[in-house]
Amino acid sequence: MPSALHGLTISEARSLLDRREVSARELTQAHLDRIRDIDPRVGAFVSVTPEEALRQADLADAAIARGDAGPLAGIPMQIKDNMCTRGIATTCSSRMLERFVPPYDATVVERLRDRHAVMVGKGNMDEFAMGSSTENSAFFPTRNPWDVHRVPGGSSGGPAAAVASGESVFSLGSDTGGSIRQPASLCGIVGIKPTYGLVSRYGLVAFASSLDQIGPLTKDVTDCAIVLGAIAGSDPRDSTSIPMEPPDYTAALTGDVRGLRIGVPREYYAEGIDPAVADTLRQALAKLESLGAVVEETSLPHTSYALAVYYILAPSEASANLARYDGVKYGYSAQDAGGMWEAMELTKQRGFGPEVKRRIMLGTYALSAGYYDAYYLKAQKVRTLIGREFRDAFQKYDVLVTPTSPTVAFKLGDKVEDPVQMYLSDVCTIPINIAGVPAMSLPAGFVDGLPVGMQIIGRPLGEETILRTAHAYEQATEWHTMRPDL
């Protein structure tokens, strides 16, 4: 039996709960204690909700006693603070929404609550999910559990750090250009961005609607399959949700990758990628090959344009989505202004932080008269080419394997003054959102004592193949069992 309750995976906790060796209340209390002890150093939580958590834990214990417990009943979780939770503040780590209390639950929150998962709190993030280090939180930065002088990645830095440090068994994050996978990579855990449309976005505060997707951050691949199965599936309240019933993702965890065709796009191992990270990935590929997969180098020549496409499309969509924060319906409102226009200007000036302002301005510029064709329309056309390139690659390969992040976790403050350098942190993850395909990051080794993530990219709705590949690799390695000393 594991020494501490806060180190457990979902499957480990499940068997303790089902054998009545621990109650959901005890498991929840152990995680609340862990948060109290270490979150002052990690900063993964914007808010902790102990009373609500213990109330939910008692409901879970009742369900377990009735013999009515699914795989997530009684499991402590954290939700990124851009997903609406009824009656519990949802801030997006922004002054703009610091006091916003949603009148409804996001679909994913509702689904997890129905399954008696226990929310212990809300996760810190880059403001409005814009950033790669969680330093853009208006409240405080989150720190990497492997080295508290380094960033956890972003924008789901809180959710990733909470899982890595044992403050939550799993977390939900959102991923617009890498915001689940890059922090999962930097914190040494598993994170998946599902196919666009697989998970409902209803109740997720919108950033870039054609790119945003919700997904789980977990300690291992099995847990990832369990949580994904609970949140996936069509939702009439999200018109971009794919009409389908999700399969049993845990059934995909066969451990068998014999004959699996793996493409290795050389652009992801080139200039700008730390050679030590690229080497770690080559060793991981050798491991997959030894398990029977067929590994072959390939090319995705439009990769180098993806960053520019993303930083035109995402800010453009953001500038439209964030226009709703006008100080009238909810959120911060400059009450000291004279008229309506001044109120709007002051509300945005005081409510939004520097990165959010930067992206809104960039998007407004790209969409404005005279620039629309050169920037926005051009980016949408190159998006088509990038999508085609992935489609062609998947004619030949079952999955593509790349690094998740070009480097291991960097130091706090290193890139915060240089937006272009910060944007390069997402160079390996952004093309996946542009193509709308699914991709996972999972632990694949360490460089200088810091975790390295392997990104496995799949076909649209190819989550099962990704999970199978990741699981086989995980079974053959020990990386997922490593925990930071805190």
Partner 1 sequence: MDSPRLTPEEVRHIALLYRMGLDEDEVERLRNQLSDILANFRALQEVDTTDVPPTGHSVELLNVMRDDDTFTPMPAEDTLANAPLREDDFFRVKAVLD
**Residues from 84 through 123 that contact partner 1 (CB under 8 A):** 99-101, 103-104
Strands 76-80 vs 118-123: parallel, antiparallel or unpaired: parallel
Q: Is the dihedral of CA 306, 244, 82, 30 positive or negative?
A: negative
DSSP 204: B
Q: Which is nearer to partner 1, 37 or 392 (CB)?
A: 392
- Residue 452: which of 294, 275, 236, 295 has the closest Cα? 275
CB 438 within 8 A of CB 407: no
Residue from 360, 444, 456, 457 touching partner 1 (CB under 8 A): that is 360
Strands 170-175 vs 294-298: parallel, antiparallel or unpaired: unpaired
Instruction: List, in sequence order, every residue forming a beta bridge with 118; answer none if it has no partner.
Output: 76
Q: Which is nearer to partner 1, 339 or 449 (CB)?
A: 339
| Strand ranges for 126-202 from DSSP E | 170-175, 190-193
Among residues 80, 122, 348, 415, which one is catalytic? Answer: 80
DSSP 444: E
CA gap 282, 10 in Å, rounded: 30
CB 43 within 8 A of CB 78: no
Question: According to the binding rule CB under 8 A, does residue 139 interact with partner 1?
Answer: no
Q: Which is nearer to partner 1, 434 or 450 (CB)?
A: 434
Q: Which is nearer to partner 1, 15 or 349 (CB)?
A: 349
Closest separation in Å from C-beta 210 to partner 1: 5
Closest separation in Å from C-beta 200 to partner 1: 13
Q: Which is nearer to partner 1, 311 or 479 (CB)?
A: 311
Site for partner 1 in 397-426 (CB under 8 A): 419-420, 423
Among residues 179, 200, 319, 441, which one is catalytic? Answer: 179
Site for partner 1 in 320-359 (CB under 8 A): 323, 326-331, 333, 335, 337-341, 343-346, 348-350, 352, 354, 357-358
CA gap 401, 214 in Å, rounded: 21
Closest separation in Å from C-beta 91 to partner 1: 12
Residue from 312, 393, 408, 440 touching partner 1 (CB under 8 A): that is 312
**What's phi and psi for 460, nearest 5 deg?**
-50, 130
- Residue 360: which of 326, 386, 337 has the closest Cα? 326
CB 475 within 8 A of CB 175: no
CB 209 within 8 A of CB 433: no
Residue from 150, 219, 383, 415 touching partner 1 (CB under 8 A): that is 383
Tell me, yes or no, if 155 is annotated catalytic: yes
DSSP 479: G
Give the interface segment with partner 1, choosing from 106-114, 177-185, 256-264, 374-382 (CB under 8 A). Answer: 374-382
Tell me, yes or no, if 80 is annotated catalytic: yes
Closest separation in Å from C-beta 342 to partner 1: 8
Residue from 64, 307, 314, 400 touching partner 1 (CB under 8 A): that is 307
Closest separation in Å from C-beta 92 to partner 1: 14
309: helix, strand or coil: helix
Site for partner 1 in 452-481 (CB under 8 A): 460
Residue span 224-253 as binding mask against partner 1, x where in contact by CB under 8 A, dash where not? ------------x--xx-x-----------
Catalytic annotation, residues: 80, 155, 179
